[in-house]
Chains A and B, each alone.
Chain A
Amino acid sequence: MYRLTEEGKKYLSEGLPEINLVKLISQRGPLHVSQLEMENKQIAISWAKKNGWIVIEGGVIKLTEKGAKAVEEESPLLKALREVDVSGKCSDEKLLEMLIKRNLVKKTREFPEVEEISQLTPEILLSEIWRVKPFKKYDVNAPAPELYPGKKHPYVAFIEEVREKLVEMGFEEVKSPVVEAEFWNCDALFMPQDHPARSLHDIFHVKHPRKAEIKDKHLFERVQKTHENGWITGSKGWGTWDQEKALNLVLRSHTTPSSIRYLANLESGKEAKVFCIDRVFRPDVIDKTHLMEFDQCEGIIVGKHVTFRHLLGMLKEFAKEVLGTEKVKFVPHYFPYTEPSIEMYIFHEKLNKWVEVVGAGMFRPEVLKPLGIEYNVLAWGFGFSRLAMLKLEIEDIRYLFARDIEWIRKFPVMKCLL
């Protein structure tokens, strides 16, 4: 196979320089070399001389008889050049040799004769054989192998969505340790020490290591007094408190310790909006709707002028932005560390019923005073994993942690959008 070089292509379109030269002389008559103005002047003169088309006498170029004939006839060399361009071959060996010698044509790799092109290859592209051969017809409906792009876990992708939304709403994210002191998990929340939620059946107690050491001794003491007799909070308190129990280590059973730890460090007089999305642990029997560990999302608003009315406003906004609905209603409820406490229901179009989604309330004075917080604090929280089930349309909560690569490969990323 042969193809034209850049020079060869140029000559094919503009003509061979020696032909151009004899044509010029035949039109204008003999010319002095110095008067000749054309491209590739030296090449033209040299080849015209070699071919015996011109003679130069005293610097003047004159056409020979042979030269005059060459003007009339089509140049065999140009013809050969055209042949190579079209077919990649040349029937005249001598002319081909000449073309190669003049670097107008280059040899390329040999190809087996193909009737049609199937797989396009670099060779086909280089040889430009595609100019003359037809493409094999392909069926666009023929099956293609499945491809699964690398991706985030669907549940994690959904968590990222909600996190993004809460940040947009002006909340700052906070964290707390997985292994937590009962003090932060319960006592600082004014949950009485004999509260059923604090039993071994409802919180994972840690066997090793066993005891925490609360660094803020003053806070520890204030919480103790609040439990014992209400301290200065105006409360009756619970009557008793055992500091050894408060030091027990547990796996955090809710995300509220992150809010409480944040409040304990909050500068006096500062307003704030913070949230937390994290794993929590409870000794449940695993089934379609229960896991021993799942995620919770919660947030608090600290503000000089915030009131219960703002709690409702916040929840409504949350329902609109995160849950995608404005159909909400509130019912009174009970949580040990908030008062008043409420639950927000949203109307679930698919299930055609009201479902409770968010628990909320205002932290009790017995919680806030020991932390040194003077302002009202609005708090809300919900089981994130259950929300994800609703949004990702998963019937069985265990699927969130399923060890099944196919499920991850095939779960459409768009379903994870808010």
Chain B
Amino acid sequence: MDKKIPGDEMPVIEVEKNYLIKLCGIPESELREVLTLVKAPIDEEEENIWKIELTPDRPDMFSPEGIARAVKGFLGMETEIIQYPVMDTEIEVKVEKVSARPYIACACVLDVELTEERIKSIMHLQEKLHETIGRKRKKVAIGLHDLDKVTAPFTYAEFHPKEIAFAPLGMDEELTLDLILERHEKGRKYAFCLEGFEKYPVIIDKYGEVLSFPPIINGRLTMVTEKTRNLFIDVTGTDKRAVEKVLNILVCNIAEVCGKIGKVKVGNEIYPKLEPEEIDVNVAEVNRVLGLGISEYETAEILRRMRYSVVEMKGGVLKVLIPPYRVDILHEIDIIEDVVIGYGINNIIPELPKIPTVGKKHRKEKMSEKIREIMVGMGFHEILNFMLSNKEKQFIKMCVEEEECVEIAKPMSLEFTVCRKWLLPGVLEFLGENTHRSYPQKVFEIGDCVIIDEKEETKTRTIRKLCGAIAHDKTNLTEIKSVVEAVARELNASLVIKPISHKSFIESRRGEIYLNGKASGFFGEIHPQVLANWKITKPVVAFEISLEEFIS
């Protein structure tokens, strides 16, 4: 159904089915089942490709290697945090001040054996990380390089756009940085990340050869191929934690299948930082949230399958180590989620909550339901319009002066630029599109409008209104007045009608409606100019009132 959260599109990755099956080491049918249980269901499939839908909180699973690690844990084939081989290197990255992207973390993966499918899987991972946690490269960007093509030490510094030139990936000629932003496809796409900065970030080697122009593009020189034996990875960005975590994901997911992780000195720090963070998990809290009644021992067993390490159990509290590639653990509750996933949601017997409450409709809706009955009783058809409208419809076509209203900052189309202030324009638009249908036409709408109100927290107020209209050859003021009177009677409100100068109606055939002494709306015969604006060819009478007075 709907994505619950706007913009929270679930990342979908394409994996080679057989590659994933081989990594997991279980039969296809079993794998299909397990994938849904570890938040990696197959969304679509083609012959040899599975499109797997992941969740944005688990970027470590954006590659087949990461998925396999979770699957093998879930099934108990391999548990706890893996100690990938790590070694020291002499490689150093000197870090200068870079305003556009202050943070950088680097690492190597040595002695890799890259097949076509492995390269594909790494590239895909890189791309997905850019899109999600990297916020389209603005927050985090990744560069992968063939280490043997350049010479350490490297320098991360900022340069004037014309100060330095190199051949970017996918191009043969050397271009200055500003020309890359202009001419290279990636340059145009990601130039927004560098907007407002005078100097741009670049990574160069000992001899000034360019490895990367983050977050735009790498140099052609260090392109990764099947022949690459040693990988160098740079991660740059605007958020230190995110930069470090992304580096961890990359090295762990690559090392999951091949190579040894090499440490790099970056500025004053040594990366990658793979020492697991520690967190306390209280088993009583686990049970308070989940209602499972599981023991310390069971909890620990589940957590080990979810690839955590449990180093201590004391007085109902587990000391849990978090794998270095997990970016989503902010709180004990995030571990508790993994407990329930490991336990198996469908193993839990659902139970109805026993909370004595009294159900109640909101008065606004209760009231609207009653009004609806009255209008239907008088033979009206209810219609439904969008709340988004535009100034032409709200004011110009209605022949009224433009008024202050809620305006949208970046509308998707000229059709929808403001929130409606009143319902009548929508009702007339409806009649204008039904001139080929049989008459009489009697329609009404009950809906929310938004008005400006400085006193409110949100500087606006949501107002429920009622609007009714009648269109046929012989309709007139009297007919709509009867309707207004009937509505007022049913509302149990006193009705006073006063003259009004409302330009949507014909002079002297229009009135202001006072309900219980308050100006609540108006009615009358729609002016022929307004009818012409909406392309309506029959006389129309209408009324509109606010129901707010009757709701509070």
Separation of A151 and B442 alpha carbons in the complex (Å): 10
CB distance from A363 to the nearest CB of B (A): 10
Could you tell me if A332 and B37 are in contact, using CB atoms closer than 8 angstroms?
Answer: yes
Could you tell me if B1 and A356 are in contact, using CB atoms closer than 8 angstroms?
Answer: yes
Given A179-B460, A340-B337, A382-B1; A335-B8 close (CB under 8 Å): yes
Binding site secondary structure of chain A: mixed
Of the candidates B336, B340, B437, the one whose C-beta lies within 8 Å of that of A406 is B437
B289 at the interface (CB under 8 A from A): yes
* Per-position binary interface string of chain A over residues 342-381, scored 1 when its CB falls under 8 Å from any chain B CB and 0 otherwise: 1000000000000111110010111000000000101001
Could you tell me if B437 and A281 are in contact, using CB atoms closer than 8 angstroms?
Answer: no
Could you tell me if A167 and B360 are in contact, using CB atoms closer than 8 angstroms?
Answer: yes
Could you tell me if B419 and A170 are in contact, using CB atoms closer than 8 angstroms?
Answer: no
Separation of A383 and B1 alpha carbons in the complex (Å): 6
**Most chain A beta carbons < 10 A, residue from B334, B351, B379:** B351
A271 at the interface (CB under 8 A from B): yes
Cβ-closest chain A residue relative to B58 = A334
Could you tell me if A151 and B381 are in contact, using CB atoms closer than 8 angstroms?
Answer: yes
Could you tell me if B8 and A196 are in contact, using CB atoms closer than 8 angstroms?
Answer: yes
B84 at the interface (CB under 8 A from A): no
Could you tell me if B461 and A177 are in contact, using CB atoms closer than 8 angstroms?
Answer: yes
Could you tell me if A178 and B387 are in contact, using CB atoms closer than 8 angstroms?
Answer: yes
User: What is the count of residue pairs linking A and B with beta-carbon distances less than 8 angstroms?
Assistant: 308
Point out the residues of chain A lying under 8 angstroms from B364, CB to CB.
175
Could you tell me if B5 and A254 are in contact, using CB atoms closer than 8 angstroms?
Answer: yes
A307 at the interface (CB under 8 A from B): yes
A324 at the interface (CB under 8 A from B): no
Report the interface size class on chain B: 35 or more
Point out the residues of chain A lying under 8 angstroms from B429, CB to CB.
403
Cβ-closest chain B residue relative to A236 = B330
Could you tell me if B459 and A249 are in contact, using CB atoms closer than 8 angstroms?
Answer: yes
Separation of A211 and B292 alpha carbons in the complex (Å): 45
CB distance from B482 to the nearest CB of A (A): 15
Could you tell me if B7 and A272 are in contact, using CB atoms closer than 8 angstroms?
Answer: no
Point out the residues of chain B lying under 8 angstroms from A382, CB to CB.
1-2, 4
Could you tell me if A206 and B406 are in contact, using CB atoms closer than 8 angstroms?
Answer: yes
Separation of A414 and B387 alpha carbons in the complex (Å): 27
Of the candidates B6, B331, B377, B387, the one whose C-beta lies within 8 Å of that of A236 is B331
B25 at the interface (CB under 8 A from A): no
Separation of A176 and B288 alpha carbons in the complex (Å): 31
Point out the residues of chain B lying under 8 angstroms from A279, CB to CB.
387, 448
B424-480 residues at the A interface, CB under 8 angstroms = 429-430, 433-434, 437, 441-443, 448, 450, 452, 456-462
Of the candidates A167, A178, A254, A331, the one whose C-beta lies within 8 Å of that of B359 is A167
Separation of A201 and B409 alpha carbons in the complex (Å): 11
Given A170-B358, A173-B361, A309-B351; A293-B7 close (CB under 8 Å): no
Could you tell me if B352 and A313 are in contact, using CB atoms closer than 8 angstroms?
Answer: yes
Cβ-closest chain B residue relative to A185 = B6
**Most chain A beta carbons < 10 A, residue from B5, B290, B365:** B5
Point out the residues of chain A lying under 8 angstroms from B330, CB to CB.
230, 235-237, 366
One of B115-123, B342-350, B507-515 at the interface: B342-350
CB distance from B475 to the nearest CB of A (A): 16
B357 at the interface (CB under 8 A from A): yes
Could you tell me if A333 and B336 are in contact, using CB atoms closer than 8 angstroms?
Answer: no
Could you tell me if B384 and A156 are in contact, using CB atoms closer than 8 angstroms?
Answer: yes
Separation of A386 and B4 alpha carbons in the complex (Å): 12
Could you tell me if B353 and A313 are in contact, using CB atoms closer than 8 angstroms?
Answer: yes
* Chain B residues at the A interface, C-beta cutoff of 8 Å: 1-2, 4-8, 10, 36-39, 41, 55-58, 132, 135, 139, 239, 241, 288-292, 330-334, 336-337, 340-341, 345-346, 348-353, 355-362, 364-365, 369, 372, 375-388, 404-412, 416, 419, 429-430, 433-434, 437, 441-443, 448, 450, 452, 456-462
* Chain A residues at the B interface, C-beta cutoff of 8 Å: 148-153, 155-156, 160, 163, 166-175, 177-181, 191, 194-209, 211-215, 230, 233-237, 239, 249, 251, 253-254, 271-273, 279, 281-285, 291-294, 296, 301, 303, 306-310, 312-317, 329-336, 339-342, 355-359, 362, 364-366, 376, 378, 381-383, 385-387, 400-401, 403-406, 408-409
- By Cβ-Cβ distance, the 5 closest A-B pairs, closest first, are A307-B291, A383-B2, A202-B7, A334-B55, A197-B7
